[in-house]
Structure 1
């Protein structure tokens, strides 16, 4: 085990060995000792670099030194159900300490019943956590740490009120940990009392992701997508579109052509969303179509292809979409299927990000370079 993992308990080291993890990522090597030392930390690191374990491992290590297991000790706040669920899964892979999800949109009664089972780790959305605390169902007098994951989303206009309300309820002396892939000025202000740790870029976007551009008129995009999927036969393909109604449109047209896939967007109910992600994660479904709600935070292994059916208006969305592949040291392919306007903007972004984009077309069932 690398030195930083040597600071962890035998239980955690055994869990990491079972996951075939023997060496910390750079962000883990930097952040774990700081959290073990009790620092308030705000850290920025690219997608796919191991941020979740960077905070979970040292916090669970601290949890293992506590003998009273009847109180909530750690709370992780996440901006979406998907990210909260994923963090909970990661938590269960390394510890037997009880964890529970407390998210908006799910039955409140059931969550209150779950709290009676005395979970020590809570992962949830800010508004639901505040609600449960006000109802005196979630007691946080034993809390020693609060984590804010994907902080740039948590401090955006639509979320900051709930995030602030939750933070204001925390007991004095609670260790504050926050992480993000893109560190904004607003996040720095919100976590002004935390030590900033900005990791040097690993250039995942440049070094481990191959970028393709495939031209298609809007009316031809879905047919182009179908041909692309047939030509590439991806291990797992995550297909993004900015509009929720387009998710259903793409799903319906692919399934009509006998292409097996799952769909996910903001209006999908929680159970169906979880089922779709679980099928995709397990490999039962190789193709998942989604709106940008899943662009941040989703960490699903072995995604070989990202396919963007439109060009996002926000550069960060492009980065986060692309970053769902090439995780944990692997490589991947990011493809934009775009019209003339989108291809022009892709060329501008290519220069800005310093990436290389390869024009491609589908001919005779294969992805090839366009004819000269």
Structure 2
């Protein structure tokens, strides 16, 4: 694949000090360059963006209108993909424009005067601008769906199909993801295509080493676990919480404790989300709390920890969350916080992934594999429960001590004398006798 690149892209490949192309980069290059429809399945962190970008931009004629459209399911992923495509497109003097929701639509329409050859964005915003007739899609030769399994879920499928309907009938389609779903098996039905499936999951060796671990702890102590994790040397963690309410609560508690933390979720403005992500990438905050909006495609270089504050909803969610660490040959840890009941459920969710789960304990500012006997260790809910019972037991015996004293040992209680005047004595009796 590397040798087949045009000279400008070859030179840039060497400038970036890239070595051997990953399996997905090798396998999809030729089919995409030849204009065939393709489904590319590859583990997270294996260079899928570069895999579809290089053969696609090599087909583009400069200064000839929009010819390539790339769809992404989230604003963050669209911005990230656009940055990669711009980087490589610049070598061929191509203009790339980002179109995402949450940004100024009029400004995006204005930028179309620069005549971009590539549009990268979210389906809703691309469709919205296309319907104003300002975005011309009649010359598009290729459309690529990044994180296709999410884009083709029910809530986005109709919008994606509407975007595709505005393209020429003869166009190339490519679908990329780390996982597949039922809808992707029905691509001929939805898009009238018969794509070539290229799945390199089993053969790809470019992914780094991931440690899959868990800490057993009660739900009420999870914020405390996060706080103690931040004391570890060189710690940075992307924390997944299932809903915004719990995320906000955890954020407020951590902020109160003085922990450097930021949040990223769909209810935040675009600028706030970008700022939080950049702070985390720059190492200015140790924790980034997010929902599954950040589980897809985001590349955070050198991220050592992914932490699951809540269980993933399914194995696909776990795959994408864990894919944020150990990218392109690096090492990383996926740490799941569970109680005793959730541990059983968690093992069922990931049972088909054939992973080795390691129990860890948080002690002395480190994660250790053997359970410490010290009281401050976190990692064994049952141990915490038993210690709590031991602490309660002496209290009960102390409370019972006064009742076990003998009558002789008990101090006598003196009755307080009533001080009455002599004339008041037997007053009640006199009144009674009077009648």
Instruction: Tell me whether the two structures share a fold, i.e. TM-score over 0.5.
Output: yes
- The answer to whether the 8 A contact 2:215-2:359 is kept is yes
Tell me what 1:227 maps to: 228
Alignment map for 1:137-148 (pairs within 5 Å): 137-148=134-145
Q: Which of 5, 8, 24 is equivalent to 1:8?
A: 5
Per-residue CA shift, 1:47-71, capped at 9, x if unaligned? Answer: 11111111001111222xx2x4141
Shift in Å at residue 111 of structure 1? Answer: 0.9
Tell me what 1:198 maps to: 199
Determine the C-alpha separation between the residues in 1 that align with 2:333 and 2:167. 42
Bigger Cα Rg: 2
Tell me what 1:270 maps to: 270
| SS of aligned partner of 1:267 | coil
Structure 1 residues 202, 304: closer, same or farther in 2, change over 3 A?
farther
- The answer to whether the 8 A contact 2:127-2:162 is kept is yes
Tell me what 1:213 maps to: 214
Q: Where in structure 1 are there 5+ consecutive unaligned residues?
A: none
Count of aligned pairs between the two proteins: 365
| SS of aligned partner of 2:173 | strand
Determine the C-alpha separation between the residues in 1 that align with 2:316 and 2:208. 18
| Cα RMSD, aligned residues only | 2.0
Shift in Å at residue 342 of structure 1? Answer: 1.6
- The answer to whether the 8 A contact 1:310-1:337 is kept is yes
TM-score, with normalisation over the residues of structure 2? 0.80
Shift in Å at residue 263 of structure 1? Answer: 0.8
Q: Is residue 86 from structure 1 mapped to residue 83 from structure 2 by the alignment?
A: no
Determine the C-alpha separation between the residues in 1 that align with 2:218 and 2:207. 27
Tell me what 2:395 maps to: none
- The answer to whether the 8 A contact 1:15-1:95 is kept is no
Structure 1 residues 46, 249: closer, same or farther in 2, change over 3 A?
same
| SS of aligned partner of 2:317 | helix
Tell me what 2:68 maps to: 74
TM-score, with normalisation over the residues of structure 1? 0.93
- The answer to whether the 8 A contact 2:208-2:328 is kept is no
Per-residue CA shift, 1:158-179, capped at 9, x if unaligned? Answer: 1111011111111122111111
Structure 1 residues 138, 18: closer, same or farther in 2, change over 3 A?
same
Shift in Å at residue 204 of structure 1? Answer: 7.9
Tell me what 2:157 maps to: 160
Higher relative contact order (CA 8 A, sep 6+): 1
Shift in Å at residue 232 of structure 1? Answer: 4.9
Stretches (4+) displaced over 6 A: 203-207
Determine the C-alpha separation between the residues in 2 that align with 1:289 and 1:23. 34
Determine the C-alpha separation between the residues in 2 that align with 1:202 and 1:274. 35
Tell me what 1:356 maps to: 356
